[in-house]
Amino acid sequence: MNYLEILSSPVFVALAPALCTALAAVLINRHRTKLVETELQNLKNQLLYRDKRIGELENSARDTNDSFAEQIANKSALVSTLNDVLAHSDAERATFYVPVQNADGNFLGLIVLATAPSDLSENLFIGTVFSGKDARAVESFFTNASVSSQNTSFKFDGFSPNSTYAECLQTSALSGSRSKVGVVQLLSSSTNGIDANQATKAIQSHRDKLVSLGQVFCGDNQSNIEKIGLKIPSTSRRGTVLSMDISNSSGLFIDEARSAVTMHLIQEVIGASSIEMAKLNGMFESYTGDGFLAAFVDDDNAQNECSADRAMNCALSIQRQFDRLMQDYRADLLHLKAELFLRFGLSTGVIHSIGFSFGQMRTTSILGRTASLAKIVCDLGPRDAASIIVDKATYLEFSNATRSKFVETVDPASKPTSENKRVPSYFYS
């Protein structure tokens, strides 16, 4: 059978359109594949060129005698490295923290040094200091272990992650020490979470560079942090804030006839409380009318209990003194038809001190998240019973024996609100 016969056969005529279509599809796919491969290679070349240029600029900045430019280059290198870590993991964002000390040389917390990708709102997040163990990065730093969690309340820049992975970085033992230089934290909004094994490998492949860059900004080199435009709150301290409130006392002042007894009682309560604070190295920070705020500061050089334990013991001691005073004032309070209770709230983290001086007025106080949370959890207590409530950061500071005396709660008064649902708290039972 010759070619003409083949081409004119009914079978070939029937199959020819399909064969032509299939051949055209193969040729088109080959062309598209070649275009995609060419485009991918161009993108790779652009990324390589970008990385090369960034490296050249960073090295150029380091070679100058300008120490500020050198540290900015180091931070840029840190951001580039975090981007590389993200490229090899299934996380969406990465954060790098380094430990910082206050003016007294005591551990203050972990400061956010760099984030990736670089579109984050640096003015809102970079430079923030985290100190409570409820933060995964801080937990990883204290335990010197990786922390993987599907539960995180970490939110910033409109980004609400569902999972986190944090790993503490140390110098090599070959260097003569095993000092902690920072923490890398990965975040993801995926419901599948972060693959811990993949995250570990991604960080491990860049560990040496991350450790090297972390050393530039921590320990004796902490002053370099301010060279990249970040301010360390060196006058702040890490510790526990104790908030105390005398429940039902404000109503006694409505009737002027009751004021004398109430003022005398509150004077005795505050006086006894100050004595108990002094015994446990606490500092009376501010008087709130029918209560106070006190601070118990961690001291790395001290051998005494941690700040959370001292604040808790102080609350228990004040409660015992208050019970004694209630017996002394029993007749007066019965006559006034008043029943008073103490409510305590404890929060652990960074404590910021502030001073005011206007004309003849001189006063100091504390502010910030830790002081605010202490007051919030204090207010969660019922008004018809004594209570001690702590936030999660304080709870995690306690030993297992102390933790066993607490029960997790949202609102011990069984009156949940939109506000206290956002504050994980523990009720002393």
pLDDT of 328: 87
Domain assignment present for residue 45? The answer is: no
Kindly report the CATH number assigned to the domain that includes residue 416. 3.30.70.1230
Model pLDDT, residue 109: 94
* 368 in a structural domain: yes
Domain boundary among 228, 253, 279: 228
pLDDT at 137: 93
257 and 316 inside one domain: yes
289 and 359 fall within a common domain: yes
Residue 145 counted as domain residue: yes
pLDDT value at residue 84: 92
Phi/psi of residue 399, nearest 5 degrees: -75, 165
Residue 354 one-letter amino acid:
I
CA separation for the pair 48, 141 (Å, rounded):
34
In the chain, how many H helices and how many E strands? Answer: 13, 14
Instruction: Specify the residue for token string 């956002």.
Output: 422
What does the DSSP assignment read for 384-401? SS-EEEEEHHHHHHS-HH
Statement to judge: residues 70 and 219 lie in one domain: yes
Q: Give how many domains the chain has, as a whole number.
A: 2
d(CA 337, CA 332): 9
Same domain (yes/no): 316, 417: yes
200 and 253, same domain (yes or no): no
User: Beta-carbon neighbour count of residue 348 at 10 Å?
Assistant: 31
In the prediction, which pLDDT does 420 show?
A: 44
Of the residues 199, 228, 257, the one at which a domain ends: 228
| Digitized pLDDT (tens) for each residue of the chain, 429 residues in all | 555 555 566 655 565 666 667 666 766 777 677 766 666 666 555 555 455 555 545 555 455 566 778 888 888 899 999 999 999 998 989 999 999 999 888 999 999 999 888 655 555 678 889 999 989 999 999 999 899 887 665 666 666 778 899 999 998 765 656 789 999 999 988 888 888 999 999 999 999 999 999 999 998 899 999 998 888 888 899 999 999 998 887 666 666 666 777 788 888 999 999 999 999 999 998 888 788 999 999 876 666 679 999 999 999 999 999 999 988 888 877 777 778 899 999 999 999 988 777 766 666 778 889 999 999 999 999 988 899 999 999 999 999 999 999 998 765 444 444 444 457 788 887
What gap in Å lies between CA 122 and CA 112, rounded to an integer? 10
Residue 144 lies in a domain: yes
128 and 250 assigned to the same domain: no
What distance in Å separates the CA atoms of residue 180 and residue 60, rounded to the nearest whole number?
29
Task: Indicate the residue type of 153.
Answer: S
CA distance 170 to 183: 9
216 shares its domain with 261: no
Q: What is the pLDDT of residue 161?
A: 76
- Assess contact for 405 and 397: CB atoms under 8 A: no
Shared domain check, 347 and 286: yes
Q: Is 11 helix (H, G, I), strand (E, B) or coil?
A: helix
CATH code of the domain in which 107 resides: 3.30.450.40
What does the block give as tokens for 285? 């920070």
- Do both 247 and 331 map to the same domain? yes
Print the domain residue range for 112. 54-228
Residues 210 and 95 in one domain: yes
Same domain, 83 and 214: yes
**How many beta carbons lie within 10 A of that of residue 19, not counting itself?**
10
Q: Shortest CA distance to 336 belongs to which of 269, 247, 259, 245?
A: 259
Whether 261 and 169 share a structural domain: no
Cα angle 358-363-367, degrees, rounded to a multiple of 5: 110
pTM of the entire predicted model: 0.79
Residue 79 lies in a domain: yes
* Domain termination site, one of 210, 228, 246: 228
